[in-house]
Amino acid sequence: MSSSHTESDIEGYCLATAMRAKGASRHLLALSSDEKNRWLRLSAERIRQNVDSILSANEIDLQQAVHGGLTDAQKDRLKLDHKRILQIAAGIAEVAELPDPVNELLEESIRPSGITVRKVRVPLGVVFFIYESRPNVTADAAAIAVKSGNAIILRGGKEAANSSRAMVEILRDAASEIGIPTDAIQLIETNDRTAVGHLLQLDEFIDLVIPRGGEGLIRRVVSEAKMPVLKHYDGNCHVYVDAAADLSKALQIVENSKCQRMGVCNAMESLVVHQSIASRFLPQLQRHLQPYHIEYRADEKAMTILSDGKMASESDWSKEYLGPIMSVKVVDSLDDAIEHINRYGSKHTDAIVTENPEAARKFQREIDSSAVVLNASTRFNDGGQLGLGAEIGISTDKFHARGPCGLKELTTYKYIVVGDGHIRT
Amino acid sequence: MSSSHTESDIEGYCLATAMRAKGASRHLLALSSDEKNRWLRLSAERIRQNVDSILSANEIDLQQAVHGGLTDAQKDRLKLDHKRILQIAAGIAEVAELPDPVNELLEESIRPSGITVRKVRVPLGVVFFIYESRPNVTADAAAIAVKSGNAIILRGGKEAANSSRAMVEILRDAASEIGIPTDAIQLIETNDRTAVGHLLQLDEFIDLVIPRGGEGLIRRVVSEAKMPVLKHYDGNCHVYVDAAADLSKALQIVENSKCQRMGVCNAMESLVVHQSIASRFLPQLQRHLQPYHIEYRADEKAMTILSDGKMASESDWSKEYLGPIMSVKVVDSLDDAIEHINRYGSKHTDAIVTENPEAARKFQREIDSSAVVLNASTRFNDGGQLGLGAEIGISTDKFHARGPCGLKELTTYKYIVVGDGHIRT
């Protein structure tokens, strides 16, 4: 659809897309694991066979990006090459190897009344996925959605429109060959920005929306969506170095958490240090991290120890820098550390470094975050690292999925009650 | 608090209540199952010991109800007697016997990186419960919340204010004796109607709201709440009598589903009948249900069979009558029945009567409801009947809990990652 269409055209297009997705989702319920896996393997094969046409489509996106004023980082995310496309194909084929969550029997019992009660895992239905301009995400998301029995509506960044379309065409053609309804995988093709708003109203047909991108986009989706939203706003992740920390482990863990990849949501942003070891640990840390040219935003106590800290403002404690800056807070006790992290954190990933098992247990119990890490890097909070196999997003909510979200997190359950003429007395 | 307080007083009162609840919820994380169970048993004992003072408080509510213009049904729900109070005590003591969901290890693995990953069940935190004027619900809800490790803020109907206060005082005194923070159980004591609105904004402190009552209340909560809502609007439950139904079972199941208790959410409201058996079954059903004086709102085909049906309007197909009326739809196929139920139903409870296993499987798979019932009454969709032990509400959403909600449904999970200086490479 071109963007010259009228508002009501767009609304009708969104409604028709959502209704087709809902219709397809009912057919997905009857698919066997084998059919879904054959689709995944065939899609991977077709992607490998069509590397050249995907590259041509990507080339058009890249040429338009030159005029679109994208940053180098954005262009790098947009750009595909032979190797990246083979990685996409491999990623899809891997999803075929994961266990099928659908129809898993979660609980079963025969009740005193004589009825049999089964709690069975079932797909959510239709997932609406809004994401940034990364063509690889298109394929990953479709693979995860369909393997977990859901239809997916894809809304990628417009900069990647041609690359995403090429990918979706391959996935749909493969679906058609296997006998899976092509409407299970649909790409929103209009550039009209009202489309997202229309789709967010259609809770009768769409069961879940997953927005990925900047905080502004996510807040807009949360405020407009009538269906549940799976999301995280940011990742202000903490490492707390306890009084009983092994400081050499602490150095490695802070370095890895902060510096291995600074621009990601599970990178450390805030360091919390127990006062009893602060004057030993902080100077060691500064020397250790010298190559990274970190700026330290410190509280008063840390200021007296650090050689060139800047005074932190209140807003620093909740900031996600995504770059070479960290906040540093010195606390009097484990309780104060927990208080600080629960107050200013994102409920994403928080780590403690300690050799004291009682402190570790208390921290794990009382930190209200999706992942609580003991003596390891915050960077481990990732679907692949935690063993989910494939990930469509991370949730910092408690309702319903928390942490990295893969196949299982795109399912719900229903009760199946079986009687033989049983009535309630 | 009296209702003469100003708006900002009320706002401050709500904020203070929510903050106290959040503080208490952190302490609940450290409680053992034994401590929680001792609190439940002590509360039950204290309720039994204080029957007279609870009855006096209830008497005040009943006297005010006379002036308040309550219906007889409302007065009946409000009224306590010796037996009902003993039932309340027994209900609380039963919660002590249920397994504690907190700290359940859901998954555990050692990853190739060497880290240990545990997925552990944890409480949600703070639950805000809004409910009608039934004093027994006050005690049930507090028992379920605290047993699952959550603090609860209770907002009961104002008609039951004195009864609820008497109950909450007993529960809090018992908590205090055991060493459980009394702020884990708080009753909103102002009659100011803005209080609910203020509390619904406090997603920083309240993790979940559960509204029970009329559809108007629930819609208001859904539109205002910034935290997730666990709810169902209504229960337009169906029984579908298939071509392959055993008609004697069908008669029993329809009678029980519709007539055992007409005013409840899992009662049948809509009957769907396959055309091949409609002309045999419907007249039998009319004779069978004669004592109940049911009004039949029928489609055209059913009109030609029923002796005194009324023509159904479009709105009848989605109506929850909660009384002696049912809609009757004759369908050409199982597919049409599924289509009709998914379109007009509440996603609550829907049953099929059939001796055909293939039809049963298709219905169970494709009906998008929290409970799908084969050859049994819809009335079985209830926490007690399904084996949850205690129930705080029913959800027709898929996210996060579905169907009857007990202890487990008031929990979430977190990932605990354990390393020994592990970093990501």
pLDDT at position B5 is 60
> For tokens 């939203």, what's the residue?
A229
pLDDT at position B4 is 52
Q: Which helix (H) or strand (E) holds B180?
A: none
pLDDT at position B1 is 45
Cα(A144)–Cα(A171) distance, integer angstroms: 13
Please report residues of B whose CB lies closer than 8 A to that of A374: 416-419
Q: If you measure CA to CA, which chain A residue comes closest to B423? A: A377
Please report residues of B whose CB lies closer than 8 A to that of A377: 419, 422-424
Do the chains contact at A402 and B412, CB–CB below 8 Å? yes
Summarize pLDDT for A328-383 with one digit per residue, the tens: 999 999 999 999 999 999 999 999 999 999 999 999 999 999 999 999 999 999 99
In Å, how far from its chain's centre is CA B108? Answer: 32
Give how far A94 is from chain B: nearest CA, Å: 17
Question: Which of B233, B402, B424, B425 to substitute to test the interface with A, most A CBs within 10 Å?
Answer: B424
Contact A91, A143 (CB under 8 A): yes
* Residue B105 CB burial class (10 angstroms; 0-12, 13-18, ≥19): exposed
Do the chains contact at B380 and A414, CB–CB below 8 Å? no
pTM for this model (two decimals): 0.92
Do the chains contact at B371 and A30, CB–CB below 8 Å? no
Please report residues of B whose CB lies closer than 8 A to that of A113: 380, 385
Residue A73 in 3-state DSSP? helix
Q: Which of A194-198, A215-219, B35-39 has the lowest mean pLDDT?
A: A215-219
Please report residues of A whose CB lies closer than 8 A to that of B422: 375-377, 380
Which of A29, A255, A403 minimises the CB distance to B365? A29
Summarize pLDDT for A34-55 with one digit per residue, the tens: 999 999 999 999 999 999 999 9
Which of A109, A414, A424 minimises the CB distance to B402? A414
Residue B357 in 3-state DSSP? helix
3-state helix, strand, coil in chain B (%, to 5): 50, 20, 30
Please report residues of B whose CB lies closer than 8 A to that of A372: 414-417
Q: If you measure CA to CA, which chain B residue comes closest to A420? A: B375
Cα(A352)–Cα(A257) distance, integer angstroms: 12
Give how far A156 is from chain B: nearest CA, Å: 24
pLDDT mean over A164-175 = 97
Q: If you measure CA to CA, which chain B residue comes closest to A362? A: B30
Please report residues of A whose CB lies closer than 8 A to that of B248: 421
Give how far A398 is from chain B: nearest CA, Å: 6
Residue A147 pLDDT level (bands cut at 50, 70, 90): very high
| φ/ψ (deg, to 5) at B246 | -85, 110
Name the residue type at position B192.
Answer: D
Do the chains contact at A400 and B401, CB–CB below 8 Å? yes
pLDDT higher than 60, residue A232:
yes
Please report residues of A whose CB lies closer than 8 A to that of B377: 419, 422-424
Name the residue type at position A264.
Answer: V
Do the chains contact at A415 and B372, CB–CB below 8 Å? yes
pLDDT higher than 90, residue A1:
no
**What is A258-285 written as a DSSP string?**
HHS-TTSTTSEEEEEEEHHHHHHHHHHH
Please report residues of A whose CB lies closer than 8 A to that of B105: none
Do the chains contact at B423 and A124, CB–CB below 8 Å? no
Q: Distances in Å between the alpha carbon of B393 and those of A271, B53, B297?
A: 42, 28, 30
pLDDT at position B74 is 82
Please report residues of A whose CB lies closer than 8 A to that of B26: 366
Summarize pLDDT for A93-112 with one digit per residue, the tens: 999 999 999 999 999 999 99
Name the residue type at position B324.
Answer: P
pLDDT at position A8 is 80
Do the chains contact at B380 and A207, CB–CB below 8 Å? no
Do the chains contact at A380 and B113, CB–CB below 8 Å? yes
Do the chains contact at A111 and B413, CB–CB below 8 Å? no
pLDDT mean over A178-184 = 98
Contact A393, A213 (CB under 8 A): no
Q: If you measure CA to CA, which chain B residue comes closest to A117? A: B386
What's the full length of chain A, in residues?
Answer: 425
Q: Which domains does chain A have, with CATH numbers?
A: 7-231+405-417 (3.40.605.10), 237-381 (3.40.309.10)
- Give me the total of CB pairs closer than 8 Å, taking one residue from chain A and one from chain B: 194
pLDDT at position B220 is 93
Do the chains contact at B416 and A30, CB–CB below 8 Å? no
3-state SS, one letter per residue, for A154-219: EECCHHHHHHHHHHHHHHHHHHHHHCCCHHHEEECCCCCCHHHHHHCCCCCCCCEEEECCCHHHHH
Q: What's the CA angle centered on A14, arms A11 and A18, to 5 degrees?
A: 140
Please report residues of A whose CB lies closer than 8 A to that of B379: 423-424
Do the chains contact at A398 and B207, CB–CB below 8 Å? yes
Residue A4 pLDDT level (bands cut at 50, 70, 90): low
Q: If you measure CA to CA, which chain A residue comes closest to B349? A: A415
Which of A111, A402, A419 minimises the CB distance to B413? A402
Q: If you measure CA to CA, which chain A residue comes closest to B377? A: A423
Do the chains contact at A414 and B403, CB–CB below 8 Å? yes
Which of A248, A370, A414 minimises the CB distance to B371? A414
**What is A18-59 written as a DSSP string?**
HHHHHHHHHHHTT--HHHHHHHHHHHHHHHHHTHHHHHHHHH
Please report residues of B whose CB lies closer than 8 A to that of A373: 417-419
pLDDT at position B65 is 86
Contact B409, B386 (CB under 8 A): no
Which of B30, B377, B386 minimises the CB distance to A117? B386
> For tokens 């196999």, what's the residue?
A389
Q: If you measure CA to CA, which chain B residue comes closest to A209? A: B399
The pLDDT averaged over each successive group of 10 residues in chain B (425 residues) is 66 97 96 97 98 97 85 85 95 96 96 96 97 88 98 94 96 98 96 92 96 91 92 94 98 98 95 98 98 98 96 97 97 98 96 98 96 97 89 88 93 96 95
In Å, how far from its chain's centre is CA B158? Answer: 20
More confident: A131 or B134: A131
pLDDT at position A5 is 60
In Å, how far from its chain's centre is CA A117? Answer: 34
Do the chains contact at A398 and B125, CB–CB below 8 Å? yes
Q: Kindly calculate the radius of gyration of chain A based on its CA atoms and give it in whole angstroms.
A: 24
Contact B273, B332 (CB under 8 A): no
pLDDT at position B3 is 46
**What is B51-83 written as a DSSP string?**
HHHHHHHHHHHHHHHHHHT--HHHHHHH---HH
Of residues B409, B13, B23, the one with CA closest to residue B199: B13
Name the residue type at position B297.
Answer: R
Do the chains contact at A387 and B117, CB–CB below 8 Å? yes
User: Residue A423's CB: how many other CB atoms inside 10 A?
Assistant: 18
Q: If you measure CA to CA, which chain B residue comes closest to A422? A: B376
Cα(B59)–Cα(B32) distance, integer angstroms: 37
Give how far B44 is from chain A: nearest CA, Å: 25
In Å, how far from its chain's centre is CA A231? Answer: 7
pLDDT at position A370 is 95
pLDDT at position A2 is 45
Which of A111, A366, A416 minimises the CB distance to B372? A416
Residue A400 pLDDT level (bands cut at 50, 70, 90): confident
Do the chains contact at B419 and A364, CB–CB below 8 Å? no
Percent of chain A having pLDDT more than 70?
99
* Residue B263 CB burial class (10 angstroms; 0-12, 13-18, ≥19): exposed
